[in-house]
Structure 1
Amino acid sequence: MKIGLIFGTRPEAIKVAPVYHELKNNGINVKAVVTGQHKEMLYQVLNLFGITPDYDLQIMKQGQGLSELTGRLIIKLDEIVKKEKFDYILVQGDTTSVLAGALVGFYNQIPVGHIEAGLRTGNIYSPFPEEANRKLVGNITSIHFAPTDVNVENLLKENYPKDKILKVGNTVIDALYWVKRNKSEDIEAIKRKYGVENKKYILITMHRRENWGKPMEETLKAVRDYLEKHDDLYLVFPMHLNPLVREVAHKVLDTFERKILIEPLEYLEFIAIMDGAHYIMTDSGGVQEEAPSLGKPTLVLRDTTERPEAIEAGTAKLVGTKYEDVIKYMELLEGELYEKMSKANNPYGDGKTSERIRKYLLEKNKC
């Protein structure tokens, strides 16, 4: 059996790394096809997990829109798929690389496995274009590897056959557990490197397209004003490389003293900074999944989330980006809510997701 694993962003690389090694370590011929939709951040993760791509498309170029990116990906991936003649193609998540990879698999009549299937917000423009990508990929997927019961229900409501849906958990938990097992000394060294080992701090990440501009500015102003009244707290903000994110961050935070503005972190570094945080504020989907494994309450800086399990389990609160709402929820975390959220159960998995995916593929190959 030959499997093509198509991915191209840092979050995808983190979540497919355990699958790649699980397949490879069990004698399955797996080819890592990297689109390069992220550049530096992607290769940091590949190095951490010891993955050497079999193909690297390095697809990104300056000023490239979604239509051009999708078209170029389809052409390049089609050449690889025709050459390799994969028995299965695996994609993960909701990016343009996922959409293009699934489409090429469909065009070549190769079954597609969608890792992290069934996430939905119900608003096709939020997040954009990820929500549409999820729904489009779902229609051409042969097996939906759904992380949670909520994801399974979403797929059933959309009338996908029950026998094509498999609840497996989320591979991000596999990756996180691997890091905690194998890199504990590095984690403590990283905290010292960034000067946070003895500080009580809030970690914030913001990068999503829908939060560019005013939403990010309102959020950061709320955080700054709250911290001005709480001199025991610091702010740690790894700033996305996007100039629109950095411009707002500097505009709002440059005059605030108790901040640590840092460059985008490698995955291992980010786990270390998460591990030391008092709590986390984020618009990232992956962070909502990782934080419960570290016992970190999370305020979600979005109006919708395709990960309602964290909200229902009590590990996260959906806050939005309005000034008054951000302040309100930060104040709520001063009391009993903090303890309740930090001790809530992780709804996203047990670290054995990759094993379940591998077993399914082997069973399918016997049929």
Structure 2
Amino acid sequence: MLTFVVMPCLNEAALIAETSASLGFSAGGETPADTHLVIVDNGSTDGTLDILERIRRESRAPVHLVAETERGYVPARRRGVAAAEALARKERADPASVLILQADSDTTYKWGYVAAMRAAASAETGIMLEGATRRPPDFEEAHSAYIAAERLVDDEIELLDATDEDEVVVDDKVCGYRLSDYLVWGGLFDEVMPSGDYIYAETTRMFIRAKLRHGARKVRVNPAGAASSRRKVTENPGLHYATVGFPREATWVRGFCRAKSGERRVIDVDAFARRVLQGREPEVEYLRRAHQLALFRYAPALVASVAVGSTTNELPEDVAAVLAVLPRRSCEELARGPGAALVDVLGLIDTHTTLFGGRPARPSF
């Protein structure tokens, strides 16, 4: 199967070579036959371009360098898929036999990642493949308190997650799909809130549309593993913890950071984790619990509730309560603007706190 790994990058001089090598694109690397790397530079100014040229020259497998001047997740990923489509057309490849794998330039991929994703791409169409991510082993060893702080909430909430069949959130950096499906689904696209904020989670939004209009399904590929970057955790451990790493809109993030600046600012990962474990960050614990429920229990229920032929009989009490207060949108409305499913559910975290167990009376930040 002709495969294109599409990887946007912006000022990744410190990591891009390691990431590319982990995918098999290096002087001594090995990739399955007919596998190409498409790197989309989004305006780097830190020496990344020189490194990309070296990767292209030295890699045994084909590496294609593409530029996208418009900043943002969607323009860069979309440009990369368009470049892959053009390359596939030159080879006269049927789009149904072309696999697109999304990658991030600050992620390290497990040996055999590409092969595992290719093996999981069955003859069936309408499939979104999703690999598995974990923290880098050295992060877990160095910051065991942070991992314990995550488990403090996650061990309880993960039992309430939707089934794999109903889940709608897709991890952008470890997913893949056939080119033919991408074209049918409408590709990656921008969505903007009335506030002017961009709605992120571009692959999740594409998948929600595909699920509602075309019955797309997600298939987990656990052998295809990756170690996610530690950078976002260390830059703002409180924000990353509160949102479960999900990219919230800019206005919400600014509000979160302003609220935290009112008290002693905690930047160090371990210091923050100790505060959580000591019960001194109840607000952030609430937000993590609420984001887990919103993204992995209530958003899937909302999408399922509007799908053609769906029924809302015998819903769990908490799910029924959430659906009862959400704006009523038709299947086609959500398919046209799937970001609304995320915005509506995530908005309840701040407006209907009792649905998530209640917000602490006094924020800790």
TM-score bin, normalised by smaller chain: 0.3 to 0.5
User: Larger relative CO (CA 8 A, sep 6+): 1 or 2?
Assistant: 2
Alignment TM-score, normalising by the size of structure 2: 0.34
